[in-house]
Structure 1
Amino acid sequence: MRPVGRAVTALALTGVTLVGTAGTAWASCGQVDHNPVAASACATGWGSGLKSAPQHSAEPLTNVRAGQHECFDRLVFDVTGATGETGYRVGYVGAFHQDGTGTRIPVAGGAILEIFVNAPSYDPSTGGVVYPGTPGRSLPGVSVGGYRTFKDTKFGSSFEGRTQVAVGVRARLPFRVLQYGDKVVVDVAHSW
């Protein structure tokens, strides 16, 4: 095959690979793809500034889970039963302080991403615990060992109808916040 033909074939295969892997990154919170061609195409343009939405949920936070993808690490907040969008406030902070008390909570990593989800971790009608986070402790059921970007997680509080957590990340990296039905999703890129 001539050099021009090989180049066209390589570009066509690269295009197929990029399109094919872009869909798989969204398929599952815990899925990991190891395609080096797609990984080189991880431009985000997300920025690292504060992102927020004001809505509140009448439904409680039921679960938090983490996943790894080629271009980012992901944290998913499940607000089971929420029928509208759930508000949030996500931004980098110099230190993590528990909402309501101001107590400093150490978080490992090069930067701290503070996340407020406008849903309580308790049932608003009964006061019973729904998501069993303990202030100052790692998020229950979330293990980020071996992640490229996430280094630590901490539960802050559930105070006045919103839940506060922190994610220790490798460095101050770009992030985005998405909503899918009753889920608030925070993705932090592996690089700029």
Structure 2
Amino acid sequence: MKRTRIPQLRRRPARSLAAAVFVAALSLTACGDGDSSEAPGETTVPVETTTATAAPSAGETTNAGATTTPESLTTNPTNMPAHPLGQPDPLRKENWEAAGSDLDVAGVRIGSHDTFDRVVFDLSGTGEPGWVVEYDVAPTELASGFPIAYDGNVALSVNLIGFNTPLWVGGMQGTGGVVNQVVPDKNHHGTSQFIIGLDQETPFSVTPLQEPPRLVVDILHEAAPPAPQPLGTPTREPKRQDSGAPHQQLITGVRLASHENFDRVVFDLVGSGSPGWITEFDAEPTHQTSAAPIDYEGSTALQVTLTGITPIAEDGSTQPLPDAAPVEGRVITEVVNGSIFEGHAQFVIGLEGDSPYSVSLLEDPQRVVVDVLHR
């Protein structure tokens, strides 16, 4: 895992941090053109938000017991969007376009929602922020390289670029979601680092917003589900499996889907026994009854003959082979049905190349799955 490294960084003497923390029902968005991320018809709910604000500079005073609150915190509505901003994923995110900005971090806020946590960096000053945000299990201080202690198993390192010194924002604990705490480092050579402690890596997004200016980091509560994988062990070899008695399977549907690494054809079945199959590549497939050519789109075809098939439904009616709904696949161009003859149901899968494939039988409900790799 890469660690964030900012060139020519050097540690200054540690400054004492002062933080004022309060709990309030604050949204992490603000009114203004281009600010709302809520689509029409979506609802919002109040959310309890922990806020850390900048401590007063030397010579400034505050009333005893009062909380120093940036103006941005007082102009926000009390509701937050019901969905994360952007397109969260677990990959490193960076923006170096704003390295010449003249900004300060005025405050940091944490809000927990049903499916994600939101960390907001309230900004003051002029210009647009830059950032480098990535996961790091062992984050270090920008200048000294000393390890940064945090609560969790992994840290999301947030480096804000184009910021003034010093950094006076304190740390805070999470509000019950996935964010355990936010730990501030110091500003060094225009970069302010914050460490967000988490228990696991989950997808996140980074979004700059205006009126008032702020940078929003949304972190999903759950890791993205793993991408579907092809079944079995795909090869280019012909495949065969015998059907099981009493050989009375009715094909009720044919479905196509395209995934990240493969295309899939599913033959849905009902009835008694178990289906079998005979599969092989054939650039010039023919009908099993007439030997007439079968037209298909693509450079070659995968012939799929399902065995143990009946055209008779429970009500006694004779059912034709179902058509496959058209789907834009990567290697599969179309599925053409043929005929049923002596328990053999013929299909032709048009392909762009003879890619490795697998054939699998799944239960509850019973179905035959053909997966064809993209490569």
TM-score category by the smaller chain? 0.5 to 0.7
Q: Which residue of structure 1 lines up, in the alignment, with residue 221 of structure 2?
A: 190
Following the alignment from structure 1 to structure 2, what is the Cα–Cα distance between the partners of residues 149 and 76? Answer: 15
**Is the CA contact (8 Å cut-off) linking 1:30 and 1:66 kept in structure 2?**
no
Q: CA deviation at 1:152?
A: 2.0
1:20 has 2:20 as partner: no
- Please tell me whether the aligned partners of residues 109 and 169 of structure 1 are also in contact (alpha carbons under 8 angstroms): yes
> Which runs of 5 or more structure 2 residues have no equivalent in the other structure?
1-39, 48-75, 225-375
1:143 aligns to 2:173 (yes or no): yes
1:62 aligns with 2:106: yes
Would the aligned equivalents of 1:107 and 1:168 in 2 still touch at CA under 8 Å?
Answer: yes
Q: Give the 3 Å change call, closer, same or farther, for CA 116–76 of structure 1 in structure 2.
A: same
Deviation of 1:162 (Å): 1.1
What amino acid sits opposite 2:109 in the alignment? R
Structure-2 separation of matches of 1:111 and 1:18: 36
Trace 1:24-173 onto structure 2 (pairs within 5 A): 31=79, 46-54=88-96, 55-56=98-99, 57-82=101-126, 84-120=127-163, 122=165, 129=166, 131-133=167-169, 139-140=170-171, 142-144=172-174, 146-173=175-202
Deviation at 1:106, TM superposition (A): 1.3
CA contact (8 A) 1:29 1:67 kept: no
**Shift of residue 30, structure 1, vs aligned partner:** 7.4
Note if contact 1:32-1:68 (Cα within 8 Å) is conserved in structure 2: no
Give the secondary-structure state (helix, strand or coil) at the position aligned to 2:43.
helix
Question: Moved runs in structure 1, 4+ residues, more than 4 A?
Answer: 28-33
Offset of residue 121 of structure 1:
5.3
Contact conserved, 2:87 with 2:205, CA < 8 A, in 1? Answer: no
Query: 8 Å contact 1:62–1:121 — kept in the other structure?
Result: no
Using the alignment, how far apart are the partners of 2:118 and 2:78 within structure 1? 9
Q: Would you say the 8 A contact 1:53–1:89 is kept in 2?
A: yes
Measure the CA separation in 1 of the matches of 2:43 and 2:155: 33
Q: Distance between the aligned counterparts of 1:29 and 1:49, measured in 2? A: 31
Q: Which has the higher helix share?
A: 1
Report the RMSD for the aligned CA atoms in angstroms. Answer: 3.2
SS of the residue aligned with 2:186? strand
- Structure 1 residues 162 and 21 mapped into 2: Cα distance closer, same or farther (>3 Å)? same
- Asked whether the 8 Å contact 2:108–2:121 carries over to 1, the reply is yes
> What is aligned with 1:7?
none
- 1:96-128 deviations in whole A, cap 9, x for unaligned? 100011011111112110000114352xxxxxx
The question of whether the paired residues in 2 share the 8 Å contact of 1:30 and 1:68 is answered with: no
**Is the strand fraction higher in 1 or 2?**
2
Q: Which has the higher contact order (CA 8 A, sep 6+)?
A: 1
Query: 2:156 touches 2:198 (CA, 8 Å); kept in 1?
Result: yes
Paired residues of 2:102 and 2:164 also in contact (CA < 8 A): no
Q: How many equivalent residue pairs? A: 154
* Distance in structure 1 (CA, Å) of the matches to 2:157 and 2:202: 13
Q: Calculate the TM-score normalised by the size of structure 2.
A: 0.37
Q: Percent identity?
A: 23
Which consecutive residues of structure 1, in runs of 5 or more, have no partner in the other structure?
1-16, 123-128, 134-138
Contact 2:161 2:191 in 1 (8 A): yes
